[in-house]
């Protein structure tokens, strides 16, 4: 599983980072990017889905690669 953040949609609410800081990096303005290469460790998959569901801009997607 891998997460992706669409930077055109992200509005910097920072919710994703609050939910699972291991999977996101945020800049000084709160805009998020996937941490590292975006690969989600098995034990964080549920939290990754939670972050997707809680992004108000629908900016986070998951792929199964
Ligand atoms: S929750 Fe969504 S809009 Fe907010 S920082 Fe994360 S990716 Fe961006």
> What's the 43 CA to ligand 1 centre distance in angstroms?
21
Task: Sketch out the chain's domains with CATH numbers.
Answer: 2-63 (3.30.70.20)
Please list the rounded mean pLDDT of every run of 10 residues in the chain (65 residues): 98 95 96 97 98 98 93
Q: What pLDDT score does 63 carry?
A: 97
Indicate if ligand 1 lies below 6 Å from the C-beta of 5. Answer: yes
Atom of ligand 1 nearest to the CA of 32: 5
Do 57 and 5 contact (CB within 8 A), yes or no? no
Indicate if ligand 1 lies below 6 Å from the C-beta of 6. Answer: no
Q: What pLDDT score does 13 carry?
A: 87
């Amino acid at each position: 599983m891998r997460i992706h953040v669409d930077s055109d949609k992200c509005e910097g609410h920072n919710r994703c980072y609050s939910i699972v800081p291991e999977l996101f990096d945020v800049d000084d303005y709160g805009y998020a990017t996937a941490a590292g290469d975006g690969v989600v460790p098995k034990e964080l998959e549920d939290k990754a889905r939670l972050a997707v569901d809680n992004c108000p801009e629908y900016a986070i997607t998951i792929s199964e690669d």
